[in-house]
Structure 1
Amino acid sequence: MSVLLESRVNGANLYRRGKVRDVYEAGGDKLVIVASDRLSAFDVVLPTPIPDKGKVLTKLSSFWFGKTEKIVPNHVITTDLRRFPKAFRDVRSLNGRAVLVKHCERINIECVARGYISGSAWTEYKALGTVAGETLPAALLESEQLPEPIFTPATKAESGHDQNITRAQLAGLIGTDLARELQRLTLELYRFAHDYAASKGLILADTKFEFGFHDGKLVVIDEVLTPDSSRYWDAEVYRPGAAPASFDKQYVRDFLVQSGWNKEPPAPPLPPEVVRGTSERYRECYRRLVGKALS
Structure 2
Amino acid sequence: MKRSLWYINFTFALTKNKGMNTVGNTNFKFENQKSFYRGKVREVYTFPDKIAMVVTDRISAFDHILPKPIPYKGQVLNQIAAHFLEATKHIVPNWLEATPHPNVAIGKACKPIMLEMVIRGYMAGHAARIYSGGRRMICGVIMPEGLREGDKFAEPIITPATKAEEGHDEDISADEILAKGIVDEGTWELLCKYTRDLFTLGSIMADEQGLILVDTKYEFGIYNGQILLMDEIHTPDSSRYYIKEGYHERQKKGEKQKQLSKEFVREWLMENGFQGLEGQQMPVMPDDFVQEVSERYIDLYQQITGKTFIKESNNNLLSDIEKAIKDSI
Fold in common (TM above 0.5) = yes
Is 1:200 paired with 2:171? no
In structure 2, what is the equivalent of residue 167 of structure 1?
174
**Structure 1 residue 135: deviation in Å?**
1.7
The 3-state SS of whatever aligns with 2:145 is coil
Matching of residues 32-111 of structure 1 within 5 Å: 32-80=52-100, 95-111=101-117
**Structure 1 residue 61: deviation in Å?**
0.4
For structure 2, the 5+ residue unaligned runs are 1-19, 311-329
Is 1:128 paired with 2:135? yes
In the alignment, is the contact (CA less than 8 A) between 1:142 and 1:242 conserved in 2?
Answer: no
In the alignment, is the contact (CA less than 8 A) between 1:112 and 1:208 conserved in 2?
Answer: yes
The 3-state SS of whatever aligns with 1:128 is coil
In the alignment, is the contact (CA less than 8 A) between 2:119 and 2:159 conserved in 1?
Answer: yes
TM-score, normalised to structure 2's length?
Answer: 0.80
Is 1:246 paired with 2:259? yes
In the alignment, is the contact (CA less than 8 A) between 2:274 and 2:281 conserved in 1?
Answer: no
**Structure 1 residue 184: deviation in Å?**
0.8
Query: Partner amino acid for 1:77?
Result: E
The 3-state SS of whatever aligns with 1:277 is helix
**Structure 1 residue 47: deviation in Å?**
1.6
**Structure 1 residue 267: deviation in Å?**
3.1
Shift in alpha-carbon separation, 1:260–1:124, aligned structure 2, 3 A: closer
Query: Partner amino acid for 1:6?
Result: N
In structure 2, what is the equivalent of residue 226 of structure 1?
235
Provide Cα deviations, 1:187-215, integer angstroms capped at 9, x if missing partner. Answer: 11001101110110111100000001110
Is 1:9 paired with 2:28? yes
In structure 1, what is the equivalent of residue 152 of structure 2?
145
**Structure 1 residue 256: deviation in Å?**
2.3
Query: Partner amino acid for 1:278?
Result: V
**Structure 1 residue 57: deviation in Å?**
0.8
2:298 to 280, 283, 294: 283
Shift in alpha-carbon separation, 1:242–1:158, aligned structure 2, 3 A: farther
Is 1:258 paired with 2:271? yes
In the alignment, is the contact (CA less than 8 A) between 2:62 and 2:275 conserved in 1?
Answer: no
**Structure 1 residue 284: deviation in Å?**
1.2
The 3-state SS of whatever aligns with 2:190 is helix
In structure 1, what is the equivalent of residue 121 of structure 2?
115
**Structure 1 residue 262: deviation in Å?**
7.3
In the alignment, is the contact (CA less than 8 A) between 1:212 and 1:221 conserved in 2?
Answer: yes
The 3-state SS of whatever aligns with 1:219 is strand
In the alignment, is the contact (CA less than 8 A) between 2:118 and 2:218 conserved in 1?
Answer: yes
In structure 1, what is the equivalent of residue 194 of structure 2?
185
In the aligned structure 1, how far is the partner of 2:288 from the partner of 2:61? 17
Shift in alpha-carbon separation, 1:152–1:260, aligned structure 2, 3 A: closer
**Structure 1 residue 99: deviation in Å?**
0.6
**Structure 1 residue 237: deviation in Å?**
4.3
In the aligned structure 1, how far is the partner of 2:237 from the partner of 2:302? 16
Provide Cα deviations, 1:104-139, integer angstroms capped at 9, x if missing partner. Answer: 011000101110011111233342222322223321
**Structure 1 residue 34: deviation in Å?**
0.3
**Structure 1 residue 242: deviation in Å?**
4.8
**Structure 1 residue 257: deviation in Å?**
2.3
Matched residues, percent identical?
37
**Structure 1 residue 53: deviation in Å?**
0.5
In the aligned structure 2, how far is the partner of 1:161 from the partner of 1:294? 33
In the alignment, is the contact (CA less than 8 A) between 1:39 and 1:46 conserved in 2?
Answer: yes
For structure 1, the 5+ residue unaligned runs are 81-94
Number of equivalenced pairs: 280
The 3-state SS of whatever aligns with 1:185 is helix
**Structure 1 residue 266: deviation in Å?**
6.8
In the aligned structure 1, how far is the partner of 2:275 from the partner of 2:214? 29
**Structure 1 residue 236: deviation in Å?**
2.0
The 3-state SS of whatever aligns with 1:163 is coil
Query: Partner amino acid for 2:39?
Result: G
In structure 2, what is the equivalent of residue 88 of structure 1?
none
In structure 1, what is the equivalent of residue 164 of structure 2?
157
Query: Partner amino acid for 1:185?
Result: Y
In the aligned structure 2, how far is the partner of 1:294 from the partner of 1:151? 32
In structure 1, what is the equivalent of residue 7 of structure 2?
none
